[in-house]
Amino acid sequence: MALHALTIHELREMLANGQVSAVEVTRDVLDRIEKVEDKVKAYITLDPELALQQAETADKKLKDGTGGALCGIPVSVKDVLCTDGMRTTCGSRILENFVPPYDATTVVKLKQAGAVLIGKVSMDEFAMGSTSEHCAFGPPKNPWNTEYICGGSSGGSAASVAAGECIASLGTDTGGSIRQPASHCGVVGLKPTYGRVSRYGLVAFASSLDQVGPLTKDVTDCAQMMNVISGYDANDSTSVPQEAPDFRNALTEGLRGMKIGIPKEYFLEGLDPEVEKNVLKGIDLLREAGAETVEVSLPHTDYCVAVYYLIAPAEASSNLARYDGVRYGLRDKTSDALVDMYRNSRSQGFGDEVKRRIIIGTYALSSGYYDAYYKKASQVRTLITEDYRKVFERCDVLVSPVNPTPAWKLAEKIDDPMSVYLSDILTISANLAGIPGISVPCGFSGEGLPIGLQIQGAHFQEEKLLSAAFNLEQRLNISHLRPDNL
């Protein structure tokens, strides 16, 4: 039996019944990694010995009945979340040898739930990218076709789940970085409401946009992961003191009474016909489940890309100023002058995309330009948030594509950053407004590449997203499909 191909809820039942042990599950996942990792390149850091130790501990807890909700489940973690004793590189040379002295809160919660941490997975450097090609240690590949991108910046998370190199993963989403790779790799990915999940221990890219969330094989697993990682954290000043529900209760049959908004701006000119066809099919299935649909408008959508690519780089410019070669991380040892050491350490440590965004952000915040750029972008961000508020007075959720196109070939757009930035157009508004969004598989392109459908909801309405996603998943019946070419 291919244990690595099963879901959390399937394995939890088998573990509880004693059909398999946590060590057996972990060994099966590690064997899978050994078989396919040379093709997928999902991991930056692996620790099989530690994983098996954790699995042995999980088996003891399963035996005495003290195991948590993820006891014995092998998971991967995006390499932007701090892990005590295990290096955290952020996909960057500047942090290549950084080993944090503490765990991120979400990692603590995984461990408390009994999860087995397999390792840290690949990502765009400092989460800046939509393809994961900007990783200093090489790009992860799409398990459905390794000549294609897996999306980003949580590409390693999505690829590791799709390839069976873990059972579930944690990623982060600053402008679509969970939902985009989930769509491209045919898995479920949820960006929670800003403040629902603690960001403590998450290495910051853009602090007003970053959010931690799960990538899983199906919607039931997504709800289970959300149960584990959600909740207030006093260590995070942006964490909202609101009790999290049991998200599994949202997974019920039928959508009668739910009103779904279809944003006309999201079915834009240039939308790939195969994406449009599969998403429209998904909308039809949601209607069959009992939902009512209505066309809505988000009039400031055209400004989202410009707003995001001012606010996010500005915050990145500030957050990444700490990597100066003095306290930790890469340090140039050839410089005689302090200023030269700063310059050379950052020049050697940061990749081209990170440098590009730091320059954009620093310019936007500079004297004489702040009001014209960052301040104006923040004002338009308020208008975008207000668009959502008005729309959610008319409907419960919004349904749209995740990406304008299926995945493209590796290196196809590596020298065209503007084209890649525009691929974020359907996901970044959720981050600007702080609302939750989920990508759920809805079909495949003619080349056999997965296509995702996006569902967005009002603040702290993840249950409605999960309900709609679950009903779509049940009717499509494709969540069990896995890549068979590895």
Active site residue 376: no
Identity of residue 478: I
CA atoms within 13 A on the CB side of 474: 15
- Are residues 233 and 239 in contact, defined by beta-carbon separation less than 8 angstroms? yes
The tokens describing 236, both together, are 């995070």
Distance (Å, rounded) from C-alpha 415 to C-alpha 11? 43
What are the residue ranges spanned by the domains of the chain? 3-257+463-476
DSSP string covering 336-360, please?
A: SSHHHHHHHHHHHHS-HHHHHHHHH
Catalytic choice (92, 122, 130, 153): 153
Between helices 273-288 and 462-476, what is the axis angle to 10°? 100
Whole-angstrom distance, CA of residue 47 vs CA of residue 39? 19
Q: Would you state the pLDDT for residue 482? A: 93
Q: Is 438 helix (H, G, I), strand (E, B) or coil?
A: strand
CATH superfamily, domain 3-257+463-476, is Amidase signature (AS) domain (3.90.1300.10)
CA distance 178 to 249: 23
- Closest by CA to 448, choosing from 480, 482, 472, 414, is 482
Strand-pairing partners, residue 172, are 212
Q: Which among 458, 451, 466 has a CA at the least distance from the CA of 187?
A: 451
Which one of 154, 160, 169, 177 is the catalytic residue? 177
The reply to whether 153 belongs to the active site is: yes
Determine the Cα–Cα distance for residues 234 and 162; give it in Å rounded to an integer.
34
Stated as kind and residue range, the H or E segment containing 212 is: strand 212-216
Instruction: Quickly tell me which residue has 């196809």 as its tokens.
Output: 412
Q: How far apart, in whole angstroms, are the C-alpha atoms of residue 215 and residue 188?
A: 6
- Cα(9)–Cα(69) distance, integer angstroms: 10
What is the Cα–Cα distance from 25 to 167, expressed in whole angstroms? 10
pLDDT at 1: 65
Q: What is 256-280 written as a DSSP string?
A: TT-EEEEEGGGS-TT--HHHHHHHH
Retrieve residue 210's tokens. 């970053």
In this predicted structure, what is the pLDDT of residue 270? 86
Blockwise average pLDDT, block size 10, the chain, 486 residues: 94 96 98 98 97 98 95 98 98 97 98 98 97 97 98 98 98 98 98 98 97 98 98 98 96 97 92 97 98 97 96 96 92 93 95 96 92 95 98 98 97 90 94 98 97 98 98 96 90
Give the three-state DSSP class for 293: strand
pTM recorded for the entire structure: 0.97
| Residue 384 near residue 300 (C-beta atoms within 8 A) | yes
- How far apart (Å, rounded) are the C-alpha atoms in residues 283 and 266? 14
Is there a contact between 172 and 81 (Cβ–Cβ < 8 Å)?
A: yes
Instruction: Dihedral sign for Cα 128, 131, 133, 138, please.
Output: positive
Instruction: Identify residue 102 by its one-letter amino acid code.
Output: Y
Look up tokens 């999306």; give the residue: 151
Catalytic residue selected from 41, 78, 109, 111: 78
Q: 86 by DSSP, 3-state: which?
A: strand
375 tagged catalytic: no
**63, 166, 176, 230, 235 from 182: Cα distances, Å:** 34, 14, 10, 20, 29
Phi-psi region of 254 (alpha: psi -120 to 50; beta: other; left: phi over 0): left
